[in-house]
Amino acid sequence: MFRRILIANRGEIAVRIIRACKDLGIESVAIYSQADSKSLHVKMADFAYKLSDDPIGGYLDIDLIIKIAKESKAEAIHPGYGFLSENATFAKRVQESGIVWIGPSAEVIANMGDKNVARALMQQNGIPIVPGTDPLNDKNMQEIAEIAKRIGYPIIFKASAGGGGKGIRVVQREEELSESFEACKREAKAFFGNDDVFMEKCITNPRHIEFQIIADSYGNVIHLGERDCSIQRRHQKLIEIAPSPSIDEGLRKRMGAVAIAAAKATKYVNAGTVEFLVDEYNHFYFMEMNTRIQVEHGITEEITGLDLVVRQIRIAGGEILELEQGDVTFQGYAIEARINAENVNADFAPNPGKITTYYPALGPSVRVDSCIYKDYEIPPFYDSMIAKLIVRATSYDLAVKKLSRALSEFTIRGVKTTIPFLQRICHDPQFKKGFFDTSYIPTNLAHLIPQEQKDDLEMVAIASALFALKKGQE
């Protein structure tokens, strides 16, 4: 096993990986920007190296990160999620430097990063994909209109190099086709430097169901069940649930087998996620494969009792996966709520600042993965997610109740957070019944927005006014 690992990331995932290293008796090397010098990951790691002054660019500096890995005598690099985690060039450079990459091969990352290569590979291996096309750039508008008519409206244009929510356009009718196509190409070019765009039939109001898989270097692949990530706003996940309250045992078995086939088709190694769209008839289609550990991996850990980050490190270290599919059991339900420092009442605008009070939720079956502490100042440069609240219970109903309890216990002052908004989701009848798809947040947003949260100064002003009023009445 490795003696020392460099963590090419920051925030809660860097903390999560450091914990896995400590559990395995492995030393950890942190990297950090100036803005992150007071970060928990820097305090917790055994060693820490400062990057350039650029708060984001530092974490993307391939040459410097590899140099630090060598200097610090790290034997492996864990990329976490975001930043360089799905950068095939980085994966390749790491391996060429004689350092172990904790993830799938550079080739797999590149293949899955190209949505058309991924689609073709899946199709060749009998994995169901949404009816669609190769890139359309060599086609004229008339040809594209004919293809759209054949596939049937609504259709969706997607950037080949895309992923997440960038570079997609839904088209309801032919009149909007050429305008949407051009807009999608422009966006693809702007975000990914590549204007290849393809077409798919649009699945309306799908559920987003993703399967966790793990694979070792000897061809052993198993799945660890699914997560329902349908509760999203503008392609940001807010709440994730494992298992999905809308997937029954029969469907889980079929989708799990397909997820394993997808991983085998790509010669996948390490932890990965196969994402599916599921329509109203429970037909499911391969959407994308994520070649990294994901934000929401913790709910899978809670229902399976397996530590995914530890597994990633052991697999990268050459260990055989001693688990077979039949050894994997699922216990109850786990729900993750992402707590973001955002002003929900200002269109979820980031709300960085100093944490003046911090009492995370505790108690049985409650887990908090976070990187914040009292008096910590959230830098304005990064993602607004500051904590992941994960709860576990024997049923979906009890898990929602526990999430509600934990959210009411969770106290953060100094910055506005999504806690009151998440609490309202917990009280929503449709959510409580497990009846939702990806249209849930857009449809229900108005009644889910809580009353304006007062910040500390406003609270003091209100208290003073009430005090003065009371004094005046005495």
Which two tokens mark 406? 């934990």
> Which residue stretch of 195-203, 296-304, 397-405, 424-432 sits at the interface with ligand MV4 (rule: CB under 6 A)?
195-203
Site for ligand MV4 in 9-68 (CB under 6 A): none
Strand partners, 221: 215
Residue 292 sits in the site that holds ligand MV4 (CB under 6 A): no
Interior angle at CA 460, CA 406 and CA 343, nearest 5: 50
Q: Judged by CB, which is closer to ligand MV4: 104, or 206?
A: 206
> Which residue stretch of 93-101, 140-148, 201-209, 417-425 sits at the interface with ligand MV4 (rule: CB under 6 A)?
201-209
* CA–CA dist 354, 377 (Å, integer): 4
- Judged by CB under 6 A, the residue of 203, 295, 303, 361 near ligand MV4 is 203
Residue 130 sits in the site that holds ligand MV4 (CB under 6 A): yes
338 is annotated as an active-site residue = no
Residue 206 sits in the site that holds ligand MV4 (CB under 6 A): yes
Residue 238 sits in the site that holds ligand MV4 (CB under 6 A): no
> Which residue stretch of 202-210, 251-259, 298-306, 402-410 sits at the interface with ligand MV4 (rule: CB under 6 A)?
202-210
| x/- track of binding to ligand MV4 for residues 430-469 (CB under 6 A) | --------x-------------------------------
Q: Judged by CB, which is closer to ligand MV4: 30, or 287?
A: 287
Q: Judged by CB, which is closer to ligand MV4: 216, or 296?
A: 296
Residue 246 sits in the site that holds ligand MV4 (CB under 6 A): no
Backbone angles phi, psi at 91, to 5 degrees: -55, -45
Which two tokens mark 364? 């049985």
305: DSSP letter: -
Q: Judged by CB, which is closer to ligand MV4: 21, or 112?
A: 112
Q: Judged by CB, which is closer to ligand MV4: 39, or 212?
A: 212
End-to-end CA, the chain: 73
> Which residue stretch of 50-58, 70-78, 163-171, 409-417 sits at the interface with ligand MV4 (rule: CB under 6 A)?
163-171
- Judged by CB under 6 A, the residue of 235, 253, 427, 454 near ligand MV4 is 235
Are 304 and 224 in contact by the 8 Å Cβ rule? The answer is yes
* CA–CA dist 210, 108 (Å, integer): 18
CB of 419 to ligand MV4, least distance (A): 23
| x/- track of binding to ligand MV4 for residues 133-162 (CB under 6 A) | -----------------------x------
CB of 253 to ligand MV4, least distance (A): 22
Which two tokens mark 184? 């999608």
What lies within 8 Å, CB to CB, of 46 at 6+ separation is 4, 27, 28, 29
CB of 259 to ligand MV4, least distance (A): 16
Q: Which of 119, 207, 292, 338 is catalytic?
A: 292
CB of 156 to ligand MV4, least distance (A): 5
453: DSSP letter: P
**If we measure between CA atoms, which residue out of 145, 449, 281 comes closest to residue 133?**
145
Secondary structure (3-state) at 315: helix
Residue 187 sits in the site that holds ligand MV4 (CB under 6 A): no
> Which residue stretch of 180-188, 196-204, 242-250, 297-305 sits at the interface with ligand MV4 (rule: CB under 6 A)?
196-204
Q: Burial code of 25-63, b = ≥16 C-beta within 10 A, e = fewer?
A: ebbbbbbbbebbeebbbbebbebbbebeeebeebbebee
**If we measure between CA atoms, which residue out of 15, 279, 263 comes closest to residue 122?**
263
Q: Judged by CB, which is closer to ligand MV4: 201, or 405?
A: 201
DSSP-derived secondary structure for 186-226: HHHHHHHS---EEEEEPPSS-EEEEEEEEE-TTS-EEEEEE
Strand partners, 435: none
* Binding residues for ligand MV4 (CB under 6 A): 130, 156, 164-165, 168, 200-203, 206, 208, 232, 235, 277, 287-288, 438
